[in-house]
Amino acid sequence: MITLDQFYINGAWTTPRSTTTMPILNPATEAQIGTLTLGNRADVDDAVAAAQRAFETWGLTPKSERRALLARLLTISAAREEEMAQAITAEMGAPITLSREQQAASGTGHLRAFLAAFDAMEEEKVLPNGDILTYEPIGVCGLITPWNWPVNQISLKVIPALAAGNTCVLKPSEHTPLSARLYAEMIHEAGFPPGVFNLVYGDGPEVGAALSRHPDIAMMSFTGSTRAGALVTKDAADSVKRVALELGGKSPNIIFADADLEARVPEGVFGCFSNTGQSCNAPTRMLVERSVYDRAVDLAAEAARAQAVGDPQKEGSHIGPLFDQIQYDRVQTLIQTGIDEGARLVVGGTGRPDGINQGWFVKPTLFADVTNDMTIARQEVFGPVLVMIPFETEEDAIAIANDTPYGLDAYVSTRDEARALRVVRRLRAGGIHINGRGTDYGSPFGGFKQSGNGREGGAHGLMEFYEVKVRPPFSI
């Protein structure tokens, strides 16, 4: 049994002021594997005070010194990737192959990309008018990360914050504390000065709100639901702090009649189901041109039936459970809502997969003949549930794709390059995938509309954590 009853504050593992605890559960078995102590406002105050003190010197540290520590962190992260993968599988149920190849690997992948962006970053430059512009750290940053891609999101926030010379307080999801603990250990091993990085466990209403409202925090960076992101923004408003948000999505996957259906349709199905559907940029709405719609439904059904579900500890391409009981119940309700609203259930449905009687496993589910006003087409399900919607024309596809409060990613499949570029130009989304190819580490990630504001990753993600100062050249 694991006991996480210390926070990382001012360069040391410390006993919290709070005594509130919660169980750490394994999603595949529903068994308790540990106990976590949750923080309170006083714990946040301690962490912020440590970060403030550290900022007085860390904010003035030369770029070369900050880079050397990040390079050391990269070496350590690469050496401990297997530990990270095992932690993520245990705490949120990602199958171990996925944890190794994508979840844990994202930590080192983003770090390498940030180092490249940091090397190219000029923290001072002369403007065309002769004035001198400097990029300087903002101050103490509050970082709130989710459970579905734990180390991915931690690295997207912690690395650019520290690279830019900021100090930070991290509140990871209370549901994925093992990976966060490991990340703090790696920061400590790398030798970052005390107070530069601080870790406080806790839930959103207590620790998250205390961070967002704290007058000594200069910036909040949040990843999670759109509802929670709005609360962070409201809490941050009184102190007029900068807020960066990466929120939900309901990404369209537009497949034209001339696309390679045998490749793109199954790819879209497995893309939606990957990570058990618990990815904000998953292609959850498959829009198919009417003339090939029936064939696409058949191909999607074949792929959905082929999607295995199983033990996260076993290697393979199967999917695992949802991360907790609340999410399991929510997904079951939305599947039933799809049935009740008249969508055609092609594969899956409510309940656990056959042969599984414990854990928060759900059936990979495919709905056809969905209209874009149905609940399952508008709400983020966050489970392995794909909806298929026919369209008539290019204009029709664009209109349906953009008819959503979200705008995170969008997917386009066609053999016509001119059409692809034409459609991409009109899609209101922050990231585009074309014919199965997405973007790589180092590119900006983020969305339009209620999918958030700001960008994470690479040079754009690094710039989120800088303040801008301008001065004239010195003269007497």
What span, in angstroms and rounded, lies between the C-alpha atoms of 42 and 237?
21
Q: Which residues pair with 437 in a beta bridge?
A: 434
Helix (H) or strand (E) holding 81: helix 81-92
DSSP structural state of residue 437: B
- For the question of residue 417 being annotated catalytic, the response is no
* Catalytic residue, candidates 91, 174, 206, 246: 246
DSSP structural state of residue 207: I
Residue length of the chain: 476
Angle, helices 81-92/105-120, rounded to nearest 10 degrees: 120
Give the largest Cα separation in the chain, rounded.
Answer: 82
Torsion over CA: 443, 405, 151, 460 (sign):
positive
Structure tokens, 131: 């004035």
Give the end-to-end CA distance of the chain in Å, rounded to a whole number. Answer: 68
Whose CA is closest to 244, among 129, 384, 364, 145? 145
Angle, helices 105-120/150-163, rounded to nearest 10 degrees: 20
CA angle 203, 361, 385 (to 5 degrees): 90
As annotated, the active-site residues are 246
